[in-house]
């Protein structure tokens, strides 16, 4: 009975937060990609690309994509942000392109789509000799779950073999990599996170998606309180937690129960992932940037 009452209370609390959020003016929206605006085939469907394009063309709102994906995939089977942007770009008016920005590799760097300007936040190639040592160690150890290693600008991604991408096993893979960092003396500088259940990612501890909010506010001269964010991995130990831990932060699948600000779409209106984002795009109040 107690757990049931707690769940009811949580739903009421998150619904109340959502009702408050719907009264705030949103001038910029930042989206995580995988399992957030993708479907079961890991594609971004036409119906949501049109809704996102309308934010720019009709409402004049800025948009951005913040993901563990690199700007451009470095391996044939890899996923990148540009492939998502390329689907949406033909729908966007040319005079709105300056309002489109991407933050690859957990906001390790940023790229403005209109100007093509890349901004290094100090993390590109910071691994240096550490990366070589890490990759050599992994090559020597040959962990059975590792399919291949993707060497990215700000970190590395260990691709999990498709038949071993089980959520119950991913915790062990993360533990494996944390042990490696300990052995190599790198645990004070680098962290290990789950990359959309496809990869195990190693990156600098100071790299975090929340940087995207700060950068957008600085670039466009708006308040962080005018920026909405959505992410499906938003529990306290996941990459989207700080990114969504604010009054316009939407956790579209996992969420942190103890957060006093985050809004779980699952609790507030019983939708997750792409369907939650479609509802947000229709119901939030947007204001021209």
CATH number of the domain bearing residue 144: 3.30.1240
Q: Are residues 83 and 139 in the same domain?
A: no
**What residue numbers bound the domain in which 188 lies?**
129-204
Q: Are residues 136 and 111 in the same domain?
A: no
Boundary (domain end) residue, out of 185, 204, 223: 204
Cβ–Cβ under 8 Å, residues 187 and 181: yes
Cα 105–106–108 angle (5° rounding)?
A: 65
Q: How many domains does the chain have?
A: 2
Q: What is the mean pLDDT of residues 84-92?
A: 93
CATH code of the domain in which 24 resides: 3.40.50.1000
pLDDT tens digits for 63-75?
A: 999 999 999 987 7
pLDDT tens digits for 112-132?
A: 999 999 999 999 988 877 888
Q: Are residues 44 and 99 in the same domain?
A: yes
Boundary (domain end) residue, out of 174, 204, 234: 204
pLDDT tens digits for 264-288?
A: 999 999 999 999 999 999 999 999 9
Q: Are residues 60 and 151 in the same domain?
A: no
Q: Are residues 112 and 138 in the same domain?
A: no
Q: Are residues 93 and 26 in the same domain?
A: yes
Cβ–Cβ under 8 Å, residues 247 and 49: no
Distance of CA 126 to the CA centre of its chain: 21
SS3 2: helix
Boundary (domain end) residue, out of 153, 177, 204: 204
Q: Are residues 8 and 143 in the same domain?
A: no
Q: Are residues 97 and 158 in the same domain?
A: no
Q: What is the mean pLDDT of residues 165-173?
A: 93
Q: Are residues 139 and 278 in the same domain?
A: no
Residue 4 has pLDDT above 90, yes or no: no
At residue 142 the predicted structure's pLDDT band, cuts being 50, 70 and 90, is confident
State pTM to two decimals. Answer: 0.93
């Amino acid at each position: 009975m107690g757990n049931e009452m707690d769940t009811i209370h949580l739903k009421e609390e998150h619904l109340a937060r959502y009702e408050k959020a719907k009264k705030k003016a949103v001038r910029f929206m930042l989206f995580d990609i995988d399992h957030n605006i993708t479907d079961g085939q890991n594609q971004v469907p036409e119906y949501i690309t049109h809704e996102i394009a309308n934010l720019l063309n009709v409402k004049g709102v800025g948009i951005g994509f913040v993901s563990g994906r690199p700007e451009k995939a470095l391996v044939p089977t890899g996923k990148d942000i540009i492939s998502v942007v390329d689907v949406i770009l033909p729908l966007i008016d040319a005079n709105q392109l300056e309002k489109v920005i991407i933050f690859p590799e957990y906001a390790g760097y940023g790229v403005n789509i209109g100007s093509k300007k890349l901004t290094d936040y100090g993390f590109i190639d910071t691994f240096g000799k550490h990366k070589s040592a890490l990759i050599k160690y992994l090559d020597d150890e040959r962990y059975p779950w590792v399919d291949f290693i993707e060497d990215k600008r700000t970190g590395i991604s260990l691709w999990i073999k498709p038949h071993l991408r089980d959520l119950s096993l991913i915790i062990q893979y993360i533990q494996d990599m944390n042990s490696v960092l300990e052995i190599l003396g790198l645990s004070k500088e680098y962290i290990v996170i789950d990359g959309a259940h496809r990869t195990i990612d190693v990156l600098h501890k100071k790299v975090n998606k929340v940087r995207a909010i700060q950068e957008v506010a600085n670039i466009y001269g708006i308040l962080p309180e005018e920026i909405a964010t959505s992410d499906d991995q938003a529990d306290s130990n996941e990459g989207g937690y700080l990114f969504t831990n604010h009054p316009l932060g939407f956790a579209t699948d996992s969420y942190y129960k103890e957060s006093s600000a985050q809004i779980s779409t699952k609790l507030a209106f019983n939708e997750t992932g792409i369907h939650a984002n479609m509802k947000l795009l229709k119901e939030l109040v947007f204001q021209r940037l």
